[in-house]
Amino acid sequence: MTDTNTNHLSWDEWDELQNPPPAVTDFDRVVERAISRRGFLGVLAMGSAAVAMGSVGNLMNSTSAQAQEAASRFPFKPIAIATDTTIHVPEGYSWRPLAKWGQPLFSNVADIDPVNGVSLEASDKVFGENTDGMESFLIGTHQVIAVNHEYVNNETNLPNNE
């Protein structure tokens, strides 16, 4: 690796810089083989058969009846798709954050400063970011939530610790 300043990189970007992905992957090879002349004809034939079978299936079943039946299985009225920045929940339900990014996990730690981030010393004492996994466990009579924090963004979290 060259003398590149990596402070502005996310851990995901840093990881790809350290371990660059191969130019050609196994998946690329499978696709290339499938798109060869003989492979393409096989894919085309299978795709045509799937479309034909799907059309027959759709004629035999009422899509709206299936949707109504599926919706009746839930104890709430489904919400419409939304693309705004508001959290939407079904009627009769409410939401609240369990923990926010930078929220102190201990009483002796200050809230995250939006301008300066968090001190290096407090960085492992606040709720992290980039959570890509969560699991709930019952331990005795206590419900415990384990959260995985994949990586941090140094420039955002620790801007004064370069």
3-39 pLDDT, tens digit per residue, is: 777 777 777 777 788 888 888 888 788 777 767 655 5
pLDDT above 70 (res 138): yes
> Which residue do the tokens 């009579």 mark?
141
Whole-number pLDDT of residue 118: 77
The answer to whether residues 140 and 160 touch, using CB atoms and an 8 Å cutoff, is no
83-130 pLDDT, tens digit per residue, is: 998 999 999 999 988 888 888 989 998 888 877 777 778 878 888 877
**pTM to 2 decimal places:** 0.44
**C-alpha distances in Å from residue 102, one per residue of 71, 99, 106, 123:** 38, 9, 11, 8
